[in-house]
Amino acid sequence: MTMQQRIEQALVALDPAHLQVLDESHMHSRGQETHYKVVLVTDRFAGLSRVKRQQMVYATLGELMGQFHALAQHTYTPEEWAQLGAAPASPTCAGGH
């Protein structure tokens, strides 16, 4: 099972209405399975700040967090997602050799 699949499997616990996990390692210089982007839409984020949402994702991933370098999070309620319709594009890595 790839790291991407492991992340997806763990985040299903948050009952997502939408879940997308992208392996963005190719955009960085640290090798394979190191950088990920998560787009997660769930009712569980209602009333929570962005920081609280991210903490919830980190807690759900638990020990997986120590097995890759970076995780870009885009966390939304279904209402926010309906208004946006898409997560922002990730920037190209500026270094980090």
3-state secondary structure of 88: coil
User: Residue ranges of the domains in the chain?
Assistant: 3-84
Q: What's the pLDDT at 37? A: 92
Please name the fold of domain 3-84. GMP Synthetase; Chain A, domain 3 (3.30.300)
Phi and psi at residue 87, in whole multiples of 5°?
-85, 155
pTM (2 d.p.): 0.83
Give whole-number Cα distances, 50 to 1, 3, 54, 74, in Å.
30, 24, 6, 9
Is 68 in contact with 35 (CB distance < 8 Å)? yes
Determine the Cα–Cα distance for residues 87 and 67; give it in Å rounded to an integer.
24
Q: What's the pLDDT at 26? A: 78
Going by their DSSP bridges, the two strands 70-76 and 18-23 should be labelled as unpaired
Q: What's the pLDDT at 97? A: 43
Determine the Cα–Cα distance for residues 77 and 42; give it in Å rounded to an integer.
5
Residue whose structure tokens are 């190719």: 26
pLDDT in tens, the chain (97 residues): 999 999 999 999 999 999 999 998 877 666 687 889 999 999 999 999 999 999 999 999 999 999 888 899 999 999 999 998 777 776 555 554 4
Q: What's the pLDDT at 13? A: 97
Q: What's the pLDDT at 87? A: 74
